[in-house]
Structure 1
Amino acid sequence: EFGVMAPTTWRLADLFAKHAFLLNGLGWGGMPRHTVQSDLDAGRLVELAIEDIPSGGLALPMSAVYRASDPPGPAGRWMIERLAMCPKQMGGKDAIDPVCR
Structure 2
Amino acid sequence: MTPHVMKRDGCKVPFKSERIKEAILRAAKAAEVDDADYCATVAAVVSEQMQGRNQVDINEIQTAVENQLMSGPYKQLARAYIEYRHDRDIEREKNAVA
TM-score between both structures, scaled by the size of structure 2: 0.29
Q: Which has the higher contact order (CA 8 A, sep 6+)?
A: 2
Greater percentage in strand = 2
Q: Report the TM-score when normalising by structure 1.
A: 0.29
